[in-house]
Amino acid sequence: MLRDAALSALVAFGLFGPMIGLKTEVGVAAIELIYRPIAVLIAVAAVFFGRLALLAWKSTRPVAKAAPGRIAGGMAYVGRYLTPIVLVLTITMPFYAERYWIDLGILVLTYVMLGWGLNIVVGLAGLLDLGYVAFYAVGAYSYALIAQNFGLGFWTCLPLAGILAAFWGVLLGFPVLRLRGDYLAIVTLAFGEIIRVVILNWASLTGGPNGMSGIPRPTLFGLVFNSGGGEGSFADFFGLEPSISHRVIFLFYVILGLALLTNWVSLRLRRLPLGRAWEALREDEIACRALGIDVTVTKLTAFAIGAAFAGFAGAFFATRQAFISPESFTFIESAIVLAIVVLGGLGSQLGVALAAIVMIGGGEMFRDFQEYRMLIFGGALVVVMVVRPRGFLSGRTPSVSLGTKRKIGADLMTEGHG
Amino acid sequence: MAYVLQQLINGLTLGMIYGLIAVGYTMVYGIIGMINFAHGDVFMVGAFLSLIALTLLSGLGVTSVPLALALTLVFAAGIAALYGWTVERVAYRPLRGSFRLAPLISAIGMSIVLQNFVQVSQGARVKPMPELLPGGIPLMNSDGFAVQLSWMQIVIVIVTLALLAAFTYLVTKTPLGRAMRACEQDQKMAGLLGIDTDRTISITFVIGAALAAVAGLMFLLYYGVIDFYIGFIAGVKAFTAAVLGGIGSLPGAVLGGLAIGLIETFWSAYFSVQYKDVAAFSILVLVLIFMPTGLLGRADVEKV
């Protein structure tokens, strides 16, 4: 055991020695090296003791695994009570929380919505989409462009943004959905990058790297939110003191509504034949084809519906920020949303919400460790895949069953090829 | 004419670099059927290791350029190989036999980890490097445009060709190469016949990472600037090269790399530099849709 740990430490020294120990710094004349032996020592020691602890824990753990049904059953039990609590806490949040927390809530809810949208594609239909942020960008830029060029309001543009994003989803998806899972992932990644590069370079339309600003804010049945009050404003109509926080609270409820809509739609879709076809497709594509399911159309609808929700979220993002630039739509955003879906357990609605709260909310908490945030995100992806490939709240209830509904634990599930 | 020739030279050099990375993708795909998403980042780590080694050597007073390059090559390839081994051991081996998307997601995680590890440990700023081998051979001069074959390009082409020759020998003639090809055909059967499949797969990752590190050194020498983000774009392009050449085929990977290098160079020269990445990505999409087996690949028979 000690030998194993020492070996790990040796490997760690090989890995970390040059990279951490010798930092290249751009000096006055040439590149200079900064020596940091202490940092290497700390990193190597951390690996040594970490490995030792892991081995010790493994040797003391009982060999017999917990019954697969128990964890899943327990989760369902927790989920039944946790869902209403989380929901109530969220709805009443503007009444007890401060401005900062509501802003954070809006951010988290945006990611919850994106996560639920991507969940349709990845969790239900089993298509790994690495370019999801492209549709988010399409939604955001559609709203910004339509609003600025045609003077339409948020509520008119919202469905348009969704439809446009779905249209792009179909357009991009149609040729590539015949591909195998991992090829599909790479192609969607390429599409995401293509859209970002085009937005970045088509400066006459999108403003290029400078982005677009002055995007109109949403209104409530024609009542505007502004800090000055005045005729036709929300504060004036209801006879309230004009305050900027009205708009924040309004935005909070808008995104909450949109997110819940996403959730409701995907829950209802699961009960349609279409949703069942998605789940069947995820489990075994060849069996699906043998049973006469039109694989391409089924995949395409999942892709398009997922894209539409990304488009809605994008339009909301644009109206909340009042400013968008290509920087907000990099691959890292796709990776974060994917991480949320994966950590949430690929298909579990509550799991996605909790993962978004932990990852986005937690990430904001540790703003000071900004540099290490993505490091931890990436590490979490690997660890979750290794420890619990189906995510933390894994386990599925079959949509249809004979007699009682039995929860299927993650350990019992296998995957077909496709 | 002279301009075309110069672009041809530049494109072929760039293509060699892509080809070296593509070999790693194609080998790993051939043997375990997964896209090693972190491969591009191992290439980036290799470029940083080369920078560190070159700086260290010049600090120690090694002035001979060939010696410095050789030492850097060995150092970067060795440490990057260790990275490749660790990535496989930590992120992929426990997932063998898991569900289809698990290794891919884990690979994406690993890619993010490597990128941000380098960002944290080496800083986010772009690192420039002074040109190590200035000058070259003037080939021709027409209409006031001088075509030049720089020493750097000669070094890149020679080292790449030598490595590829050695690698081809390894795969086709040695027992290790035979084991690798056996694992590629049928892992279970190879295991039954006494081949240590885990070890073979590890070695595949190690070799791929070492080649990627060499490509990283070439990239550093060729462009003179690196940052922690180069692995992503170069990785996707090299993957495109592997797919274009026919994934699983070694000569195909090199051929695809050369094709991508040429296309990118000529696209930048004649159309637009801003959209050069779009060109490479579009080729990936087009090849996958219309020619999924690539130039030299075998048709994939789907077994149930």
Would you state the structure tokens that stand for residue A6, as one six-digit string? Answer: 């020492």
pLDDT digits (tens, 9 = 90+) for B94-113: 887 777 777 888 888 899 88
**B175 near A CB under 8 A:** no
Is residue B127 within a helix (H) or strand (E), and if so which, with residue range?
A: strand B127-128
Cα nearest neighbour of A418 on chain B: B100
Contact A190 B289 (CB under 8 A): no
- Give me the phi and psi of B139, to 5 degrees please: -90, -55
Closest Cα in chain A, distance from residue B42 (Å): 12
How many Å apart are CA A166 and CA A187, to the nearest integer?
A: 17
Total length of chain A: 418
Alpha helices in A347-415 (DSSP H): 349-356, 362-365, 370-387
ipTM for the predicted complex: 0.80
What number of other Cβ atoms are within 10 A of residue B133's Cβ?
15
Decide if A19 touches B, using CB distance below 8 A: yes
Report the 10 Å Cβ neighbour count for A417. Answer: 13
Query: What's the CA gap between B52 and B63, in Å, rounded?
Result: 16
The confidence score (pLDDT) of residue A228 equals: 64
Minimal Cβ distance to B239: which of A176, A186, A332: A186
> How far apart (Å, rounded) are the C-alpha atoms in residues B260 and B249?
16
* Residues in CB range of B273: below 8 A, 6 or more apart: none
Nearest CB among B55, B90, B122 relative to A19 is that of: B122
- Tell me: the pLDDT tens digits for A68-95? 455 555 656 666 777 778 788 877 777 7
Mutation to test the A interface, candidates B285, B293, B300, B304, most A Cβ within 10 Å: B285
- Partners of residue A379 in chain B, C-beta under 8 Å: 109, 113
Rounded CA gap, A264 and A258, in Å? 10
Is the pLDDT at B43 greater than 90? The verdict is yes
Amino acid in the structure at residue A157? C
Confirm or reject contact between B68 and chain A (CB < 8 A): no
DSSP B95: G
* Secondary structure class of A26 (helix, strand, coil): strand
What backbone torsions phi and psi does residue B171 show, to the nearest 5 degrees? -75, -40
Shortest distance between the Cα of B281 and any Cα of chain A, in A, equals 5
Tell me the pLDDT tens digit for each residue of B17-36: 999 999 888 888 888 878 88
Residues of chain B positioned with their CB less than 8 A from the CB of A11: 82, 86
Using the beta-carbon criterion (under 8 Å), do A197 and B277 form an inter-chain contact? yes
pLDDT digits (tens, 9 = 90+) for B237-292: 898 888 888 887 888 888 999 999 999 888 888 887 778 888 888 888 888 778 77
> Taking residues B153-172, what's their average pLDDT?
88
Axis crossing angle, helix B39-60 with helix B102-122, rounded to the nearest 10: 30
pLDDT number for residue B143: 67
What is the C-alpha separation between B236 and B264, in angstroms, rounded?
13
Region B234-239: mean pLDDT is 88
Distance of alpha carbon B57 from alpha carbon B51, whole angstroms: 10
Closest residue by Cα to residue A126 from A268, A258, A286: A286
Q: In whole angstroms, what is the distance from residue A346 CA to residue A115 CA?
A: 10
pLDDT score at A296: 84
Tokens for B29, please give them.
């795909």
8 Å CB contact between A157 and A219? no
Tokens of A119: 């969940």
Question: pTM for the full model?
Answer: 0.84
B169, burial (CB in 10 Å: exposed 0-12, middle 13-18, buried 19+): exposed
User: How is chain A split into domains, by residue range?
Assistant: 2-58, 101-412
CA-based nearest residue to A347, from A63, A75, A28:
A75
Tokens of A240: 């309230």
Contact A132, A118 (CB under 8 A): yes
CA distance B279 to B237: 10
Q: Are A263 and A109 in contact (CB under 8 A)?
A: no
C-beta atoms of A415 and B100 within 8 A: yes
d(CA B240, CA B219): 18
Tell me which of A7, A10, A16, A19 to substitute to probe the interface with B (most B C-beta atoms closer than 10 Å): A19
Task: Count CA within 13 A, CB hemisphere, residue A317.
Answer: 31
Do residues A72 and A408 touch, judged by C-beta distance below 8 A?
yes
Q: What length is written for chain B?
A: 304
Which candidate from B113, B239, B292 shows the least CB-CB separation from A378?
A: B113
Tokens matching residue B45: 């780590």
Q: Is A193 on the interface with B (CB under 8 A)?
A: yes
Average pLDDT of chain B, as a whole number? 85
- Which amino acid type is present at position B180? M
Q: Residues 24..63 of B with a Cβ closer than 8 Å to A: which? A: 34-35, 45, 48-49, 51-53, 55-56, 58-59
pLDDT of residue A27: 67
pLDDT of residue A417: 38
Report the run of H or E that residue A34 belongs to, with start and end.
strand A31-35
Task: Answer for the pair A117, A313: CB distance below 8 angstroms, yes or no.
Answer: yes
A18 touches chain B (CB under 8 A): yes
Q: Residue A126 in contact with residue A282, Cβ under 8 Å?
A: yes
Separation of alpha carbons A10 and A17, rounded Å? 10
Closest among B151, B204, B152, B156 to B176, alpha carbons compared: B204
Q: Which residue has the tokens 């290439």?
A: B43
Residue B210 has pLDDT above 90, yes or no: yes
Burial class of residue A189 in the structure, from the number of CB atoms within 10 Å of its CB (0-12 exposed, 13-18 middle, 19+ buried): buried
Report whether B54 contacts A22 (CB < 8 A): no
Sorted by sequence, the CB contacts under 8 Å of residue A214 that are 6+ apart come out as A148, A322, A323
Q: What is the pLDDT of residue A394?
A: 46
Residues of chain A with pLDDT under 50: 64, 66-68, 392-395, 409-418
